[in-house]
């Protein structure tokens, strides 16, 4: 049989399958038997012994000679997101093999994901001290430091990762993101551009570059950022990051919308709002709701409010519409069915002017 692997599982990290409702049960025969059965089912072969220790459970696993290597087994657990089971095994392996780079790396990564940041940083520092060319180790250490709020240390660490492996996209992406948070926007863009070049369909890299370009300011940067936001949304439209991209696209569109009129009321938008009021005055609220929600759904894919040549169609309303025309219809529709909804596009000035034209007073409703 292989040498035994001994590890301790703190009570707060006991697998949910065996965690007792009463902490006093940690020393009971029933708990120890359940724990033994659980780890036997996990390890599948070899001998398992368990005993209660202060604050948790001590486990000894002696793998069978023909069984999977314990390190490979722990890595497999991590791939299945079973960090709580894998970490104690890796800790046990580290005691017997303190120079095992794979153990240090995977243990540090898993501890970082579990929020055990001090432990993660210790193990990942040990890794890069033993192997200064371990690029992934430098990246993982930088991420752990950033999660712990040690931003300046993280920037220095990720800078070393870039020096060791200039083509590591994750080093570039994470370093660019942190530099952006520190306000070092030009340097951030340099690294994020490299990240996007190396990972052209990576949603976080696309979003990070676009967001930083917006922060730099200027119409040219805004136009490039808008294109990057669209690429990020196309990667996976259903993520929280995609929703952030849609919001920032809306903000870009609104800034461009206002700048085109030097900050003044846009009379084209006023007339679109007035036309919507006149149309909706002849409809039921349910019909208005259908139109407003169809436009809202279309908007999740992006509506170009600054290109009058781009035309759109609706199932619920005949005709061809520009992006701005649809946003105006949507704005008026939600004012009727739910005024509390924030569409992320401010047409309040144009809406009030259209109300005056429609009913003769700012409070008039279609």
Listed in sequence order, the residues at least 6 apart from 91 whose beta carbon sits closer than 8 Å to its beta carbon are 7, 8, 107
What is the DSSP code (8-state) at residue 6? Answer: E
Q: What angle do CA 3, 113, 238 make, to 5 degrees?
A: 130
Architecture of domain 177-259: Alpha Horseshoe (1.25)
At residue 114, the 3 state secondary structure works out as: coil
195-221 per-position pLDDT tens digit: 999 999 999 999 999 999 999 988 889
CA-to-CA separations, 311 to 100, 217, 319, in angstroms, rounded: 61, 29, 10
* Model confidence, pTM: 0.68
CA-to-CA separations, 238 to 196, 234, 294, 297, in angstroms, rounded: 20, 10, 18, 13
pLDDT of 261 reads 55
pLDDT of 361 reads 44
pLDDT of 25 reads 79
Joined tokens for residue 178:
């942190």
pLDDT of 299 reads 81
pLDDT of 360 reads 57
87-127 per-position pLDDT tens digit: 888 998 898 889 999 999 999 999 999 999 999 999 999 99
Q: Are 120 and 106 in contact (CB under 8 A)?
A: no
Q: List the one residue out of 175, 94, 158 whose CA is nearest residue 130.
A: 94
Given a cut of 70, the residues of the chain with pLDDT beneath it are 1-2, 44, 65-68, 258-263, 360-366
Residue ranges per structural domain of the chain: 177-259, 267-359
Q: For residues 198 and 205, what is the distance between their CA atoms, to the nearest angstrom?
A: 10
pLDDT of 262 reads 57
At residue 305, the 3 state secondary structure works out as: coil
């Amino acid at each position: 049989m292989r040498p035994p692997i001994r590890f301790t599982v703190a009570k707060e990290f006991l697998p949910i399958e065996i965690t007792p409702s009463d902490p006093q049960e940690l020393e009971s025969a029933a708990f120890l038997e359940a724990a033994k059965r659980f780890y036997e089912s996990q390890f599948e072969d070899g001998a398992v012994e368990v005993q209660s220790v202060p604050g948790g459970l001590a486990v000894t696993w002696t793998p069978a000679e023909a069984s999977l290597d314990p390190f490979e087994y722990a890595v497999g657990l991590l791939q299945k997101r079973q960090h709580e089971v894998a970490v104690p095994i890796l800790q046990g392996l580290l005691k017997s093999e303190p120079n095992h780079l794979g153990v240090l790396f995977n243990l540090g990564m898993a501890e970082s994901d579990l929020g055990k940041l001090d432990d993660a940083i210790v193990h990942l520092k040990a890794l890069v001290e033993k192997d200064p060319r371990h690029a992934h180790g430098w990246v993982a250490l930088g991420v752990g430091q950033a999660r712990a709020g040690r931003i300046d240390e993280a920037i220095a660490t990720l800078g070393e990762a870039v020096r060791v492996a200039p083509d590591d996209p994750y080093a570039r992406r994470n370093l660019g993101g942190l530099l952006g948070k520190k306000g070092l926007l030009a340097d951030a863009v340099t690294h994020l551009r490299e990240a996007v070049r190396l990972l052209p369909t990576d949603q976080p890299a696309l979003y990070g570059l676009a967001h930083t370009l917006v922060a730099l300011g200027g119409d040219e940067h805004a136009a490039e950022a808008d294109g990057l936001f669209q690429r990020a949304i196309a990667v996976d439209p259903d993520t929280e990051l995609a929703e952030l991209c849609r919001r920032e696209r809306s903000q870009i569109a609104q800034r461009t919308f206002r700048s085109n009129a030097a900050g003044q009321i846009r009379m084209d938008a006023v007339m679109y709002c007035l036309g919507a009021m006149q149309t909706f005055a002849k409809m039921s609220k349910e019909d208005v709701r259908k139109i407003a929600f169809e436009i809202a759904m279309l908007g999740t894919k992006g509506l170009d409010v600054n290109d009058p040549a781009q035309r759109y169609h609706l199932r619920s309303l005949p005709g061809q519409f520009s992006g701005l025309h649809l946003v105006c219809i949507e704005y008026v529709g939600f004012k009727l069915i739910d005024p509390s909804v924030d569409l992320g596009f401010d047409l309040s000035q144009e809406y009030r002017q259209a109300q005056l034209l429609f009913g003769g007073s700012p409070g008039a409703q279609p």
